[in-house]
Structure 1
């Protein structure tokens, strides 16, 4: 388990404690949780107030402690800078998506209309072919009658 914690020094004992602030639930999901403190048993030069990432085993035994500065800065860089995903960016992208959706809907309507026109013309051509076939048959009959006379 990985925790974000703040280094605290117990005023009575002088022991270094890590006050848990949040715990990692999955790769990109963290849950705020300040209900526990982890006791740092190894000697450390961490000062009070420093934010750290703490990796523990299932039994809460601390595997590693590292300064969280680089991790926090990477989060800031990824999510809170000009080029990051923010509410304005999301709003702009939603507007683009809505515009594209409307354009696609209009194109779909136009394609449906064209398909209907093509179907209508195809039916008209079939009717003309049938009419032409009947006219040819009638001409053949007339020609046959004329040749018999």
Structure 2
């Protein structure tokens, strides 16, 4: 799992630590950790300065598998999402319209499915009644 972390000094010692700022979710979104509830782990390397933001990858045992400077990644995020003209109020409004259209389509499909289920249930009951009628002497 990938995390955005900051290298900080542990308050009670001079040893550096990785303080987890955000965690990538399976859907590609990021969960930002609350300021007072950020997990951390000891970081004994000295390749990054205190205060640096880094991207880290943890293995299945939650051990540090890789670490890299987050500058290029953050600049890429800014370029894709925060450059003027990328996400405008019009873009957001268009996306909201798409979502509303999808929601309406899903509601209509759900209602159609429910209607068909009820029709099948009525037909099944009719067939069972006919079977009983035919089997009675």
Separation (CA, whole Å) in 2 of partners of 1:31 and 1:60: 17
TM-superposed deviation, 1:84 = 1.4
TM-superposed deviation, 1:73 = 0.5
Aligned partner of 1:53 in structure 2 is 55
TM-superposed deviation, 1:66 = 0.6
In structure 2, the gaps of 5 or more residues are: 99-137
For the pair shown, the structure with the greater C-alpha radius of gyration is 1
Separation (CA, whole Å) in 2 of partners of 1:40 and 1:12: 15
Task: Name the structure with the higher helix share.
Answer: 1
TM-score, normalised by the number of residues in structure 2: 0.60
* 1:80–1:86 CA contact under 8 A, matched in 2: no
In structure 1, the gaps of 5 or more residues are: 98-149
TM-superposed deviation, 1:5 = 0.5
| Aligned-residue CA RMSD (Å) | 2.3
Aligned partner of 1:84 in structure 2 is 86
TM-superposed deviation, 1:47 = 1.1
TM-score, normalised by the number of residues in structure 1: 0.55
Separation (CA, whole Å) in 2 of partners of 1:86 and 1:76: 14
Higher RCO (C-alpha under 8 Å, 6+ residues apart): 2
Aligned partner of 2:7 in structure 1 is 7
Q: What is the number of equivalent residue pairs in this alignment?
A: 95
